[in-house]
């Protein structure tokens, strides 16, 4: 037997030979003396030697699961394995594995002090296909958190408690956020309840202004320290915390006794900047901190789950990482070359064309997606229908209002009104130009789940698809709390053949 080098020694030797690019983020943290106690990434391995599971997905067709691992040691996730496993059905991310060896996996968040509006129990799981990207040209999937979605581990090994030092980073989608509470990744309460100031230390991303804010109108990287999102000292504005404009953002929060910092940068290029560094907030309860050591993703410490965002990778460390260590991690992230990729698949749609959506469910194939006033429904339409009905069942394809890689569908008879979802029901509403309307009215088609035509995925709730149920239009998930989420005939009800418009 020969003794194997420790990861730290390995990373140091890699550093010594100048092969920085071969050391993963957690090799770099280890070499800096602040090792990862949790490493979460659905997109790639975060240690250069890691070959274990990255995440688990569960498919709707038979409720079975599979594990997605890197294609090679230290490499990008095997997205092709997911695509094969999830073909012609729906898939959810059920476990985000901890790569540190400590078993600090993230799973569906349990109910907390705040009960979500969508389900009164556990939070929702993320779609496995809501956040496709490429790393160095290879496809991988992030974790797309819609409101109501959350992951958590309340029994973490090795995390900071009390006033102990820690660091963390996350790579996020800079364009996916809202102002609700709270899209977080980091250290939180172990009972899923608000236990007071200083009981959390997590990265927050969004444009909430209830507690703190930065320059411009947001979104910002802030720290959720419980009962406050902090951009700097106090709970007010820090002009040094900039509005983020990059598609990919590296967000960093770290803390130690009476000292903490916020740092950030563009994950696709350049270096990190320090947005805040200094003493703990002088408001009571934050010095010393009272950390509990759970880990949350996509939610607040009390399970507040109204926020949205996208997580690609992130870690928690023990010890307060040096800026130099974090700078080398940022260089590694940049070298991973995060980039966007297509959000749509299946039959192509052409912006500017006029189309109809033909129902494929057996027994209903004389029906098309139409509207009666604001209600989106299915109606029996044919070449001999009235002009009014033909127009009501005809839609103009527009570039997606929230994301031009997807589409929006404008009414033919009511210019300026679009199909949007509201409380998971499809409506025809006038475009009010708001961010929420744009998101509610953007859809990303994929190949039809029943093998026919297209399935029209909601951009903002990618576990949900256009569905006709009792002849009314919804965005439905494959199983869920609403009647229209019934898994019976799901694949047929969400598959529509897109054809020429009637009018
Ligand atoms: C999957 O599990 C859910 C919840 O337990 C159940 O309602 C559904 O029928 C199952 N689906 C299949 C295909 O077994």
Q: Say what the pLDDT of residue 115 is.
A: 63
Q: 117 CA to middle of ligand 1, Å?
A: 23
∠ CA 318-307-267, rounded to 5°: 55
CA distance 206 to 177: 5
Q: 63 CA to middle of ligand 1, Å?
A: 6
- Taking 80 as the threshold, does the pLDDT of residue 16 lie above it? no
- Taking 90 as the threshold, does the pLDDT of residue 412 lie above it? yes
CA distance 287 to 109: 28
Q: Is 224 among the residues known to form the active site?
A: no
Please say whether the dihedral angle defined by the alpha carbons of residues 28, 34, 37 and 42, taken in this order, is positive or negative: negative
Q: 119 CA to middle of ligand 1, Å?
A: 17
Q: Say what the pLDDT of residue 39 is.
A: 99
Please list the residues that pair with 256 across neighbouring strands. Answer: 259
Q: 144 CA to middle of ligand 1, Å?
A: 23
Q: Say what the pLDDT of residue 12 is.
A: 44
Q: Is 226 among the residues known to form the active site?
A: yes
CA distance 368 to 390: 10
Ligand 1 within 6 A of 487 CB? yes
Ligand 1 within 6 A of 62 CB? yes
- Taking 80 as the threshold, does the pLDDT of residue 263 lie above it? yes
Mutate to test the pocket of ligand 1, among 60, 477, 487 (most ligand atoms within 8 A of CB): 487
CA distance 311 to 93: 12
First to last CA, the chain: 77
Query: Percentage of the chain with pLDDT > 70?
Result: 94
Mutate to test the pocket of ligand 1, among 449, 479, 481 (most ligand atoms within 8 A of CB): 479
Contact of 212 with 237, CB cutoff 8 Å: yes
Q: What is the pLDDT of residues 317-345, one digit of tens each?
A: 999 999 999 999 999 999 999 999 999 99
Q: CB under 8 Å to 362, separation ≥6 — which residues? A: 492
Ligand 1 within 6 A of 480 CB? no
Q: 122 CA to middle of ligand 1, Å?
A: 16
Q: Say what the pLDDT of residue 174 is.
A: 98
Instruction: Assign 15 a pLDDT band (cuts: 50, 70, 90).
Output: very low
Ligand 1 within 6 A of 479 CB? yes
What's the half-sphere exposure (Cβ side, CA atoms, 13 Å) at 34?
26
**Cα 279 → chain centroid:** 31
∠ CA 221-186-108, rounded to 5°: 120
- Taking 50 as the threshold, does the pLDDT of residue 278 lie above it? yes
Instruction: Assign 234 a pLDDT band (cuts: 50, 70, 90).
Output: confident
Ligand 1 within 6 A of 282 CB? no
Residue among 179, 195, 186, 406 at smallest CA distance from 307: 179
Ligand 1 within 6 A of 17 CB? no
- Taking 80 as the threshold, does the pLDDT of residue 22 lie above it? no
CA 111 to each of CA 58, 114, 125, 152, 188: distance values in angstroms, whole numbers, following the listed order: 21, 7, 13, 10, 14
Q: What is the pLDDT of residues 348-365, one digit of tens each?
A: 999 999 999 999 999 999
Q: Say what the pLDDT of residue 436 is.
A: 98
- Taking 50 as the threshold, does the pLDDT of residue 4 lie above it? no
Encode burial over 483-495: b for 16+ CB neighbours within 10 A, e otherwise: ebbeeeebbbbbb
In the set 123, 184, 189, 302, the catalytic residue is 302
Nearest residue CA, atom 7 of ligand 1? 479
- Taking 50 as the threshold, does the pLDDT of residue 271 lie above it? yes
DSSP string for 37-70? EEEEESSB-SSTT--S--EEEEETTT--EEEE-B
Q: 94 CA to middle of ligand 1, Å?
A: 15
- Taking 50 as the threshold, does the pLDDT of residue 3 lie above it? no
Nearest residue CA, atom 6 of ligand 1? 479
Q: Say what the pLDDT of residue 6 is.
A: 44
Nearest residue CA, atom 2 of ligand 1? 63
């Amino acid at each position: 037997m020969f003794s194997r080098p420790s990861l730290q020694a390995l990373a140091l030797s890699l550093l010594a030979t100048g092969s920085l690019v071969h050391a993963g983020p957690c090799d770099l943290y280890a070499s800096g003396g602040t090792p990862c106690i949790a490493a979460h990434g659905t997109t790639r391995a975060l240690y250069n030697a890691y070959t274990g599971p990255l995440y688990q997905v569960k498919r709707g067709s038979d409720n079975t699961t599979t594990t997605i691992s890197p294609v090679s040691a230290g490499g990008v996730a095997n997205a092709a394995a997911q695509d094969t496993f999830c073909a012609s059905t729906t898939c959810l991310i059920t476990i985000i594995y901890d790569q540190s060896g400590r078993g600090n996996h993230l799973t569906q968040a349990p109910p907390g002090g705040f009960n979500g509006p969508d389900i009164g129990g556990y939070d929702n799981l993320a779609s496995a296909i809501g956040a496709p990207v490429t790393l160095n040209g290879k496809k991988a999937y992030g974790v797309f958190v819609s409101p109501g979605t959350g992951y958590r581990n309340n029994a973490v090994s090795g995390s900071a408690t009390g006033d102990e030092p820690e660091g963390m980073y996350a790579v996020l989608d800079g364009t996916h956020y809202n102002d609700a509470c709270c899209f977080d990744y980091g250290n939180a309460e172990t009972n899923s309840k608000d236990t007071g100031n200083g009981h959390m230390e997590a990265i927050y991303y969004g444009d909430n202004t209830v507690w703190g804010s930065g320059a411009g109108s947001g979104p910002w990287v802030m720290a959720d320290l419980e009962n406050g999102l902090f951009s700097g000292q106090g709970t007010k504005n820090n002009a040094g915390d900039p509005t983020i404009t990059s598609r990919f953002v590296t967000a960093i929060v770290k803390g130690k006794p009476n000292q903490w910092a916020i740092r950030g940068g563009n994950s696709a290029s350049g270096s990190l900047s320090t947005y805040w560094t200094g003493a703990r907030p002088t408001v009571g309860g934050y010095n010393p901190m009272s950390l509990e050591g759970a880990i949350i993703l996509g939610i607040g410490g009390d399970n507040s789950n109204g926020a949205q965002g996208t997580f690609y990778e992130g870690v928690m460390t023990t010890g307060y990482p040096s800026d130099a260590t974090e700078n080398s991690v940022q260089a590694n992230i940049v070298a991973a070359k995060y980039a966007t990729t297509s959000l749509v698949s299946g039959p192509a749609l052409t912006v500017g064309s006029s189309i109809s959506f033909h129902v494929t469910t057996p027994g209903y194939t004389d029906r098309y997606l139409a509207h009666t006033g604001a209600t989106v429904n299915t109606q029996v339409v044919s070449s001999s229908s009235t002009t009014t009905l033909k127009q009501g069942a005809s839609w103009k394809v527009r570039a997606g209002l929230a994301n031009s890689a997807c589409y929006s569908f404008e009414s033919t008879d009511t210019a300026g009104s679009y199909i949007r979802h509201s409380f998971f029901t499809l409506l025809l509403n006038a475009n009010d130009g708001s961010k929420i309307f744009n998101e509610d009215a953007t859809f990303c088609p994929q190949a039809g789940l029943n093998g026919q035509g297209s399935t029209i995925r909601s951009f903002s709730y990618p576990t949900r698809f256009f569905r006709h149920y009792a002849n009314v239009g919804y965005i439905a998930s494959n199983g869920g709390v609403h009647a229209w989420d019934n898994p019976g005939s799901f694949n047929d009800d969400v598959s529509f053949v897109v054809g020429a418009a009637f009018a």
